[in-house]
Chains A and B, each alone.
Chain A
Amino acid sequence: MVITASSGVGTGAALALPPHVQLKVEDLQTYFIQGASTVKSVDGVSFSLSRGQTLAVVGESGSGKSVTSLTIMRLLAHPGRIVGGRVLYRLRGGDVVDLAQLPEKRMRAIRGREIAMIFQEPMTSLNPLFTVGDQIMEMILLHESVSRDEARVRAKRMLELVEIPAPERRLDQYPHEMSGGMRQRVMIALALSCNPSLLIADEPTTALDVTIQAQILDLLRRLQKEIGMSILFITHNLGVVAEIAHEVVVMYAGRVVEQGLVLNVFERPRHPYTRGLLACIPDVRRDRTEGGGRRLLNAIPGNVPSALDLPTGCAFAPRCPLVVDRCRELPPLIPVSEDHLSRCWRYDDL
């Protein structure tokens, strides 16, 4: 992963990305401003995602990871808004656009077609009043000028692609007639039906039980190999990150605290928060064989601070076992080795 400081390119100049990069987020700031109070949900986040690769954004609830994904899709609910930064995205034709600046109308053509999204709750993310087939066909008909019959054939092919048995029959079923895992497969089929270059998966396996979770991850990995889309994977579970991602960004209270290649971060976490999260992972493989008991070893004491009441300096300091006086001053993202950054003064003690 290459992290560059925000360059001084003026808005008028043509935007450019290195050829292998699909998405590059630069110093993104998303605030929720209500009256006199401002919540900085995303506060200066930068990362870049290469084509055909998977980047995981990890954090607890309230860390800003989901807001980051909604910001990229420009689906922020009121009163959230982008205050600064750029979201550079390479369109299918090769042009690069800044999603943060794009007018809503152009954004609409990108949603679903260029960037698709799957969500945490397969039980509620599909509309209960429409058949599965209708919901997939709707997406295809929105973005491509094909006949309904053709769209139906495509929808059926998508169900086959996500390994749903008896797809012809399933097309005419309603979401409530399917299990959670099956619905998440439908969501994936829906998301991939227009061949997007980027799939944003917001906690897609959290609501599923462990075996189904593993199946969905296998499916996503296989589909990525076949289709070649990039995946931005949002999760709170580092165990899942190890299974699917190439790179990882760890977020805490709206800021990136550590980022780097999964291999490096897992081998030697350079931020006490990441280390704590890693210690919490139940061994996924052992879990699967031993019946999936969930244990939280060495859980990090305390909670994510309220976004309305953040400490000055390092936000993790109140919970940190290594806290020192200097932590009252906010550390920058420090390069600790090649392609590995940490926002901790004591990265070397880890």
Chain B
Amino acid sequence: MAVTSSPAIAGRPGLVSLVFQRKSLLIGLVVLGAITVFAVLAPLIAPYAPNRLSVVNRLQPPSGRWWFGTDEFGRDIFSRTIYAGQLSLLVGAAATLLAAAIGITLGLVAGFFRKADGIVARIIDAMMAFPDILLAISLVAALGPSLATVIVALGIVYAPRLARIVRASTLIIRELPYIEAARALGVPTWRIMLRHVLRNLVSPILVQATFIFAYAMLAEASLSFLGVGVSPEVPTWGTMIAAGRQYVGSADWMTLFPGIAIVLAVLSLQLVGDGLRDLLDPRLRKDL
């Protein structure tokens, strides 16, 4: 016997147990779930209305009455923080969906039509040359600032990342022998290819989309902080931190809590993205 004990050879483990085996994925999902629940149930959980002014109670430090303190208008920061989660999650999710729609379409077009490929590939490269925040604020400036604009801008900014993956995969699959054979026989191949490409791409798209979700939330916060995104009156984590900027050193809680909320949200998304990558395709691990 060369082996003192051998690992148990189990059957194909279920998805749930696979998730439980990955601690970081589990932590990410739990935190993300908690944030989502808080945001969705904000009207039930929040002790105060997010915009209820109370000038007498302005700039109160955290206490039993105001868990996260109050801001310069006496609004409850805890309530505003969980309401802000609604908008941050909404912007992140919508921008990710839009980026996926644009990116997958562009990638497929580039991969399927040789003639379009040169142009699309170059556009993808050029888009990646713009720093994400800079491109986003320029787009917002061009389109006029509003919630919808921020979503559109971020969707455009992050689309090339997905387009790149889809294009590369499509280019590989179109060279597969049976696709070539089908093409030689005159069978319309795009339908077969589409099915194959999409099936192969589910995992990498899902993983990349998770990261884009994270980046989009960070970018939205940055835009709101810079004052070029949604209106400063709307509570988002970015606008709350921007408002707290004047009170750094005197009312630190105004910046502290929304910041922690962003970090938790982005971190949990990254944990989920990492965990999904390991779970769905260990080969993807390398290209971070």
Contact = CB atoms under 8 A, between A and B. Distances in A.
So, do A and B actually touch in the complex, CB under 8 Å? yes
Interface stretch (B3-11, B41-49, B240-248): B3-11
Interface string A304-329: 00011110100100000000000000
Interface residues of A, number: 14
A249 interface: no
19 contacts: A36-B4, A36-B7, A37-B3, A37-B5, A37-B7, A38-B4, A38-B5, A39-B2, A39-B3, A40-B3, A43-B2, A253-B2, A308-B2, A308-B3, A308-B6, A308-B7, A309-B3, A310-B3, A315-B2
- Which 8 A-B pairs give the minimum distances between C-beta atoms? A40-B2, A310-B2, A36-B5, A38-B4, A308-B6, A308-B3, A307-B2, A312-B1
Contacts of A36: 4-5, 7
A254 interface: yes
Interface in A32-60: 36-40, 43
Given A36-B7, A37-B3, 8 more contacts: A37-B5, A38-B4, A38-B5, A40-B3, A307-B2, A310-B1, A310-B3, A312-B1
Contacts of B5: 36-38
Interface in A6-64: 36-40, 43
Interface in A60-107: none
Interface of B: 1-7
Nearest to A315: B2
B3 A307 contact: yes
A132 to B, nearest CB: 30
Contacts of B1: 310, 312
Interface in A228-287: 253-254
Contacts of A310: 1-3
Nearest to A38: B4
B147 to A, nearest CB: 52
Contacts of A307: 2-3
Contacts of A308: 2-3, 6-7
A312 to B, nearest CB: 6
